[in-house]
């Protein structure tokens, strides 16, 4: 199927795993906007009106996953499903591996059988953070169990499917999650409301991107079957977690006093081994697609106060007009 076919044929079936997550939600919205026949899946045992169009599927149940996808016979499968919290992975690495590694391998095998395009989302955490910037051809060396599992998932995908696939490594994500509890700004606002201490590292450097921007890249890769292999994507700027937190406070009109500067090197026992600096070289992908990496300022412009926090926010922000003015420009 050519790229023109993908643009024209809006009957193309796209399965999206992990659709209720921060990135998955943005990809779902982008697929809907472009008119794709999308089948969003999430792991949810109880009905949730927030995801009325979604289908529940436990990716650790191989037989059910296989039967579901073979019955549907999609043209493309996008895998955003992951247990991505390093702390959660460390607490139960066996369960995390079933989703992060085993499910990814099974999805790649099914995609190969169906002849479907397969897009698998991976992480910058496959690197140790000593070489800057990392190219997609550089040798990974993860420091954490989560990084190890994402690297293993890449290897499994590569061995399971020989063509018509993309592995996309991404970085720290900004955005607006459906449950308002996934992105950095949502967690910061929740912590301020709950009067919780916010400690952010001033010696951990990342190259954040926005969920909406990555979603555009993913859908563009869906439409470009001539682009296959392993690619990197990130924003256009490198920033510390502490500085990003300050920029978020400024964006929403809060005093910088709400965040305390801390050191990654002094927090080893609490957070475990973590790369101090992770940056990406975005070529060759950046030169082959229309979507451009965003600056931190551009990413912050797209952030919203969650509806559940809006009343509190209007009453509590030092200068809520900063958000309102920017919001009205959108």
Q: What are phi and psi of 15, to 5 degrees?
A: -90, 130
Q: Is 292 left (phi over 0), alpha (psi -120 to 50) or beta?
A: beta
How far apart, in whole angstroms, are the C-alpha atoms of residue 199 and residue 208? 18
Comparing CA positions, the residue from 14, 8, 5, 47 lying closest to residue 32 is 14
The Cβ of residue 86 has, within 10 Å, a number of other Cβ atoms equal to 19
- Measured CA angle at 187 (ends 254, 104), to 5 deg: 150
Mean pLDDT of the region 115-124: 97
Comparing CA positions, the residue from 165, 157, 155, 144 lying closest to residue 278 is 144
Task: Quote the pLDDT of residue 31.
Answer: 96
Confidence of residue 45 (pLDDT cuts 50, 70, 90): low
- Domain borders along the chain are 3-172+208-232, 183-206+240-274+295-330
How far apart, in whole angstroms, are the C-alpha atoms of residue 43 and residue 55? 8
Q: Answer whether 325's CB lies under 8 Å from 266's CB.
A: no
Q: Answer whether 69's CB lies under 8 Å from 55's CB.
A: no
How far apart, in whole angstroms, are the C-alpha atoms of residue 70 and residue 51? 23
Confidence of residue 10 (pLDDT cuts 50, 70, 90): low
The share of the chain scoring above pLDDT 70, in percent, equals 90
| pLDDT at residue 66 is higher than 80 | yes
Task: Quote the pLDDT of residue 181.
Answer: 87
* Residue 93 burial by Cβ neighbours in a 10 Å radius (0-12, 13-18, 19+): middle
pTM (two decimals): 0.92
Mean pLDDT of the region 105-129: 96
CATH number of the structural domain 3-172+208-232: 3.40.50.720
Q: Answer whether 294's CB lies under 8 Å from 213's CB.
A: yes
| pLDDT at residue 174 is higher than 70 | yes
* Residue 48 burial by Cβ neighbours in a 10 Å radius (0-12, 13-18, 19+): middle
Tell me: cis bond preceding 284? Omega within 30 of 0 counts: yes
Q: Answer whether 95's CB lies under 8 Å from 83's CB.
A: yes
- Residue 94 to residues 4, 60, 97, 146, 155: CA-CA distances in angstroms? 42, 11, 5, 11, 18
């Amino acid at each position: 199927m050519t790229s023109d076919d993908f643009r024209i044929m809006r009957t193309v079936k796209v399965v999206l795993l992990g659709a209720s997550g921060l990135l998955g939600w943005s990809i779902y919205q982008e697929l809907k906007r472009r008119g794709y026949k999308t089948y969003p899946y999430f792991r949810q045992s109880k009905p949730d009106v927030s995801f009325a169009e979604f289908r529940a599927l436990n990716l650790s149940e191989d037989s059910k996953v296989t039967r579901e996808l073979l019955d549907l016979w999609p043209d493309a499968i996008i895998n955003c499903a992951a247990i991505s919290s390093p702390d959660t992975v460390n607490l139960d690495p066996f369960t995390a591996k079933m989703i992060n590694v085993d499910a990814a391998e099974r999805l790649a095998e099914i995609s190969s059988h169906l002849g479907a395009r397969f897009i698998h989302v991976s992480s910058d955490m496959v690197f140790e953070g000593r070489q800057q910037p990392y190219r997609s051809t550089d040798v990974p060396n993860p420091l954490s169990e989560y990084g190890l599992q994402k690297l293993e998932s890449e290897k499994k995908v590569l061995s399971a499917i020989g063509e018509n696939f993309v592995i996309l490594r991404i970085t720290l994500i900004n955005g607006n999650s459906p449950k308002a509890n996934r992105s950095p700004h949502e967690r910061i606002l929740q912590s301020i409301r709950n009067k919780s201490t916010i400690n952010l590292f001033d010696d951990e450097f990342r190259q954040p991107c926005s969920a909406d921007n990555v979603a555009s890249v993913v859908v563009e890769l869906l439409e470009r079957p001539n682009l296959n292999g392993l690619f990197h994507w990130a924003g256009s700027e490198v920033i510390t977690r502490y500085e990003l937190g300050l920029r978020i406070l400024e964006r929403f009109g809060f005093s910088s006093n709400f965040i305390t500067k801390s050191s990654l090197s002094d927090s080893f026992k609490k957070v475990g081994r973590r790369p101090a600096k992770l940056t990406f070289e975005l070529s060759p992908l950046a030169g082959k697609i229309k979507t451009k990496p965003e600056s931190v300022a551009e990413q912050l412009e797209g952030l919203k106060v969650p509806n559940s926090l809006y009343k509190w926010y209007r009453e509590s922000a030092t200068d809520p007009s900063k958000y309102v003015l920017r919001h009205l420009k959108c």
